[in-house]
């Protein structure tokens, strides 16, 4: 039997009232932040949230500050009606979909570069009631944001941390679930919560993959059939490197070279391949403690990220 359709809330004040009413009833609130165009990976996060919370909020918000000037935000896949149907298929369902139109006033920069107005989502209205010259406050997690994706996308995690902090302030969840596919993002949010004393438990959920190993991502829709087949080289190379490390190969340079070579031979363009400490995200030269191999690579128009943990 399909679950009931979730309530759609677009106003931040209404969202706060709902959360506070639930807390007054003794409910534990779980939040799953998303940018929509949901897939089984997102639904797995909701299943994890059900283990820890009584009521579930899924936010659907395409964050303009996560797009660089070379990316067209208007082309990011969006299907709110389809997302609602998928949410109704989850055991236990979802109580609320928080679907604000805008959470940050970019002022004069609003329509420049990757920051563009979206008109195609259903049920979206502005959350901005005061327009005093635009917003100018940002949240930075200074060291963790520097490497990996931060090298080629220097403002990306500023946008992530700021919008997630706003979601935490609006929804006021007790627990929030993030996918570990976005490993750096997950660690940045964990550090932000610790440093700024948010009363939120942040949980990292394991990567969900297609049957052939490709990490589930909304961006996979950009892949042609041929590119998708070639993109399997990412997970295959990561798995091979992990097995090599577990068999005693602890030289990170050699492991990274094997990953890069495999992806490039398949036709991919590697943005980075790094082996870093699981908590500090600092690069290591030799595996002596738990690490994670993180990769970002382009196949056609799709920039794909993936990772695999090595616990030694």
Active site residue ranges: 42
Smallest Cα–Cα separation from 163: which of 78, 97, 64, 16?
64
Query: Beta partners for 97?
Result: 8, 58
Q: Which residues pair with 302 in a beta bridge?
A: 299
User: For residue 289, is it left (φ>0), alpha (ψ between -120 and 50) or beta?
Assistant: beta
Task: Provide the pairing of β-strand 291-299 with 269-277.
Answer: antiparallel
Report how far residue 271's alpha carbon sits from residue 67's, in angstroms, rounded to the nearest whole number: 16
CA distance linking residue 43 with residue 59, whole number of Å: 13
Pairing status of strand 175-179 against strand 96-98: unpaired
Q: Name the 3-class secondary structure at 78.
A: coil
Are the beta carbons of 83 and 38 closer than 8 angstroms? yes
Q: Are strands 55-60 and 291-299 parallel, antiparallel or unpaired?
A: unpaired
**What is the C-alpha to C-alpha distance for residues 198 and 191, in angstroms, rounded to an integer?**
10
Q: Locate all alpha helices (DSSP H) within 202-273, ordered by sequence.
A: 225-246, 252-265
Bridge partners (DSSP) of residue 291 are 277, 310
Go through 116-135 and write b for each residue having 16 or more CB atoms within 10 A of its CB, e for each that does not: beeeebeebeebeeeeeeeb
Contact 26, 55 (CB under 8 A): no
Give the other-Cβ count within 10 Å of 40's Cβ. Answer: 11
């Amino acid at each position: 039997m399909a679950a009931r359709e979730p309530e759609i809330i677009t106003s931040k004040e209404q969202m706060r009232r709902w959360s506070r009413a639930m807390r007054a009833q003794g409910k534990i609130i779980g939040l799953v932040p998303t940018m929509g165009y949901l897939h089984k990976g997102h639904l797995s996060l909701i299943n994890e949230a059900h283990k820890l919370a009584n009521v579930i909020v899924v936010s659907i918000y395409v964050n303009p500050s996560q797009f660089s000037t070379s990316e067209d935000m208007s082309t990011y896949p969006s299907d709110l009606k389809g997302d609602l149907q998928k949410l109704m298929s989850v055991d236990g369902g979802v109580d609320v979909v928080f679907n604000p139109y805008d959470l940050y006033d970019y002022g004069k920069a609003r329509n420049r570069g990757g920051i563009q107005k979206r008109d195609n989502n259903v049920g979206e209205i502005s959350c901005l009631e005061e327009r005093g010259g635009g917003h100018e406050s940002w949240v930075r997690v200074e060291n963790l944001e520097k490497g990996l994706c931060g090298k080629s996308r220097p403002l990306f995690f500023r946008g992530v941390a700021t919008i997630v902090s706003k979601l935490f302030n609006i929804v006021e969840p007790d627990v929030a679930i993030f996918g570990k596919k976005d490993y750096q993002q997950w660690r940045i949010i964990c550090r932000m919560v610790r440093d700024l004393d948010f009363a939120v438990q942040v949980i990292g959920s394991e990567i969900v993959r297609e049957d052939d190993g490709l990490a589930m991502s909304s961006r996979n829709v950009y892949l042609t059939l041929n590119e998708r087949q070639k993109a399997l080289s990412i997970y295959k190379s990561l798995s091979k490197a992990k097995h090599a490390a577990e068999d005693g190969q602890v030289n990170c340079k050699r492991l990274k070279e094997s990953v890069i070579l495999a992806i490039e031979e398949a036709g991919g363009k590697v943005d980075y391949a790094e082996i870093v400490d699981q908590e500090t995200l600092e690069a290591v030269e030799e595996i002596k403690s738990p690490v994670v191999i993180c990769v970002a690579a382009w196949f056609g128009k799709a920039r794909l990220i993936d990772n695999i943990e090595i616990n030694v």
